[in-house]
Structure 1
Amino acid sequence: MQAFTDIQSKSLSAQIYSQLRYQLMAARMQPGVRLKIRELAQSLGTSETPVREALLQLVRDGALEMKPGYYIRVRRLTLNEYLETREIRLMLEPHAAVKALPHVDKAFIEQLEKVHETLIRAEADKDYPAALLANYEFHFLIYRRSGMPQLIEILERLWIQIGPLLNYLYPFGHPSYDGPHQHLHILEALRKRDAEALAEAFRADLIEGGRAFVRYLESIEPEATQ
């Protein structure tokens, strides 16, 4: 009976872990927010044990941190940590997009177009949570088409760390582009099945679109040590 209970607990912990990972990647959690096990358990309608297990796993993943007194909060990356993560993303995300290219069809591109339209509309309406969610969905819809589960797992591990930080993107580091939005270049490259242009559009989206964001992170860097 104890073994069966343990299996149930681990299964529930995995479900909670998956939910929290999604919230982190989609920027649903603010940096520095304290996560209380009892409150989370009550909101999820479960016991504290699987919640604690899920949170501790996210601590090991580097998305959360345990502070003195054994309280857990959402970790905020330092500027150097973000820049290192971005350097890794610049290698892996264009690769994932190129690997997705053979699995892309017209219906999928139309789906991406709708997600991008949602992003632009949310930015115009200053509905920043919706904009962050749409951006996350745009990127990971493509990455998951790569058919490379280990690569996707690595990218998700990176995004659970940077996701909370993206809450500073709006309005402080609002993406800006020298020309059309890079998502439009991504869509065009997908239509033309141009792997080189696709990879370059992903790199440009991160660098060009993130210029103001990096400047803002630089301006608040002293606070990150608190």
Structure 2
Amino acid sequence: GRETFPAPDPFLVMATQNPIESEGTYALPEAQVDRFMLKVLIGYPSAAEEFVVVERQISAAVNTIRVLDPEMLRGFQRETDAVYVDPAVIQYAVRLATATREPAVVGRDDLSRLLTYGASPRASINLVLAARALAFLRGRDYVLPGDVSDLARDVLRHRIVLSYEALAEDLSSDDLLTPIIHAVPVPTAPLHEQRARDQQVRGSVAGAFGAESGGIPAGGTTGNAGTGDETWARPTR
């Protein structure tokens, strides 16, 4: 219609998807599913967890206290928005998403026949946004590549469309995502450090071979050693 209804701030949409008793319901179109940030799989509770569920149901109601209000939540959102994301981490998120569209790029051409559509650019955006939030919850003001990979399946599983061959083989989205995620190289150093190290290596090699040789000889490569977590923080100017 022509009327716009303002949503409250903060605003969140959660939906449940029951794998059984779906007769008479219709699956959401892929374009609508793509707008959900995460798809989290929730299986059966463990025996200990189920015991607590039953115990709570037969016990007297417990008085609850409010531990969070909307303004506090908005404050957490602002702090999350300030979490630093290195360009190398953004590149990693983009490579994960694009690898679902072109598995051959990461050496998994065998998976191409099992995928009809890969993840859209919304996947790259939400990988970074979700990793930011996870980094904040983990007490950091910067994102690590591990924050991205830890959430990759939750962000990607509802964004890929399996082929009829995959469905015939009873494969799930996670069955395809796991080898793709493992095939995408994880960055070992922030982009600004990689560039600085490359320049340093080129300079040292140029000194060893002579400035006139142009630095690294034909066929030469530069390597980047792993670095500590703290190096992923916002670089100082």
TM-score (normalised: structure 2): 0.23
Larger Rg: 2
Greater helix percent: which structure? 1
